[in-house]
Amino acid sequence: MTEFFAAFELEYKLEKKEILEIYLNEIYLGMGSYGVVAAAECYFNKSLYELTIDEMALLGGLPQLPTRNPHNKSGSAEKVNERRKSVKERRNYVIRRMEEDGYISSTEARVARNASINNVKFNPLNQDENTALGGYIIEELHRLGYTDEQIKGNGFKVYLTIDINAQRAAMTSLQYGVRQVQRRQGGNAPQAALVAIDSKGDIIAMVGGLSYYDEKGDKRKNELNRTLSLRQPASTMKPIVYAAALDSGAISPDDTLDASPLVIGGRTISDRCDSQSSITDAIAQSCNGAVIRVYQRTVWNQRTGWNPVLNLVRQMGVETPMQDSPLLPLGVSETRLLDMTNAYTPFFNQGLMRRKPRIIFKVRDEQENWHEHGSGWPSQVISRSTANLIRRGLRSTVVSEKGTGRAAGSITGAAGKTGTTTANRDALFIGAAESRLFGTTVVGVWVGFDDNTRLGSGSTESGGRTSAPIWAKFFERIQK
């Protein structure tokens, strides 16, 4: 009866085409793929619009039994062959129905039926529901005062802030982005991570990496939570430098910055920025010369040796010690994606933030006692005026003609910052947008290889090209 009323309400509120669109975007199609877009990437390494009739028919036959797919190589050789034969029969049934209903001609149907399914060779990524969260949850339980003995006790239950739909959106978006990189570059697929923090300071999604299926169809499970891995934040560090400089009085909001090239330790630091720049444009265009000079001015203004930038980094909850160096503004000191993402929250909350994002909101212990864990009161870490100015710069990054984050511009109100390390070993995008369910949500995305291999030749893979589209995909899904 509940299903009846739900269906009635759905039909009352939505057109048939809208219901079908939701179904096609959410239906499970095997091998960790939710929705036809993810399945097209998974089975054929193609976008949805590149599929041929026989390929579309193969996907159309999967909802009935998603495990009956050409990638599933579990069991004996005889079982695998039987499964592939069944896949082809089901595909051809869909083709026949398309012909009977007038969607394709008899000639198109004949060509599609004769197509081989042996071209389905792409090794898919798999969506892991736990996404290597266990270690971080144990770490947080210890921080909250629970012992290993309590945690292992019978009846001990932990309730997380993770939203299952946001988590699934994160995994699907990462799959999409990683496959795009692999299509452009060839070779092995890189790893990727995403963390999302809502307006209450709760972690609603945390994906530390993606699992794979090898050529035999065996699952190679991801064991590492890369939102906690130490990597260089690259240019995502720049807004923090500007915020510290503004609040310490080293620069003023209306200052014109010198963004011309400069030499540090024999190394020429240059970019494509104009020689003179406003703070907003310097953020949007990711000007190296400008931010280094601002950092130098900020530190030199403090005769006591106190460093306002490092102090603000600590106030923002970045736990990894950063080393003072002339290149600190370029993000050369390693830190965690989780910490950097949380550090962006005051830019979108009038300068207020919770120093530690929450992932555990309730615990029931072995004695069935309930323990509530709040997210804590936010504190003012930067002034409102500074937060608003930095946010304008982050917005300009996405919408201005020379902004480095234009790939995120499809999302209403999007604002963020790209980051790309030397030789394209790390690609990042951290930013925020509004979500109907979660309010202003800050999301950080990282893509790279665990062994520091380059993502691609030249400057073909960057935060703007590689990570910003993943960020946008995530918001597309959670805003529906």
Containing structural domain, residue 449: 123-480
The per-residue pLDDT for 84 is 82
The per-residue pLDDT for 174 is 93
Same domain, 113 and 164: no
Same domain, 115 and 131: no
Please count the structural domains in the chain.
2
The rounded average pLDDT for each run of 10 residues, N- to C-terminus, in the chain (480 residues) is 43 63 75 75 75 89 78 71 85 92 91 78 47 82 92 86 90 90 84 95 93 57 86 97 96 95 85 90 96 92 76 94 92 96 97 93 88 89 98 97 95 97 94 93 96 80 95 91
The per-residue pLDDT for 394 is 98
The per-residue pLDDT for 306 is 78
The per-residue pLDDT for 220 is 61
The per-residue pLDDT for 375 is 81
Same domain, 138 and 162: yes
Which helix (H) or strand (E) segment is 5 a member of?
helix 2-13
Of 122, 148, 171, which residue sits at a domain end? 122
Q: Look at residues 337, 53, 305, 75 and name the one whose alpha carbon lies nearest to residue 203.
A: 337
Of 122, 141, 171, which residue sits at a domain end? 122
What is the distance between the alpha carbons of residues 207 and 441, in angstroms, rounded to a whole number?
Answer: 16
Same domain, 158 and 113: no
Same domain, 360 and 425: yes
Around Cβ 185, how many Cβ atoms within 10 Å? 17
What is the distance between the alpha carbons of residues 373 and 242, in angstroms, rounded to a whole number?
Answer: 34
Around Cβ 38, how many Cβ atoms within 10 Å? 25
Of 122, 149, 173, which residue sits at a domain end? 122
Mind giving me the DSSP string for 148-184?
HHHHTSTT-EEEE---HHHHHHHHHHHHHHHHHHHHH
The per-residue pLDDT for 74 is 65
What is the distance between the alpha carbons of residues 113 and 57, in angstroms, rounded to a whole number?
Answer: 10
Long-range contacts of 17-22 (CB under 8 A, 24+ apart): 22/480
Residue 118's domain is classified under what CATH number? 1.10.3810.10
Around Cβ 98, how many Cβ atoms within 10 Å? 19
The per-residue pLDDT for 123 is 43
Residue 430's domain is classified under what CATH number? 3.40.710.10
Same domain, 448 and 362: yes
Same domain, 94 and 138: no
Is-above-0.85 flag for pTM?
Answer: no
Same domain, 192 and 309: yes
Q: Look at residues 78, 55, 81, 64 and name the one whose alpha carbon lies nearest to residue 30.
A: 64
Residues in contact with 169: Cβ distance below 8 Å, sequence separation at least 6, in sequence order = 205, 473, 474, 477, 478
The per-residue pLDDT for 16 is 67
Same domain, 167 and 106: no
Same domain, 108 and 248: no
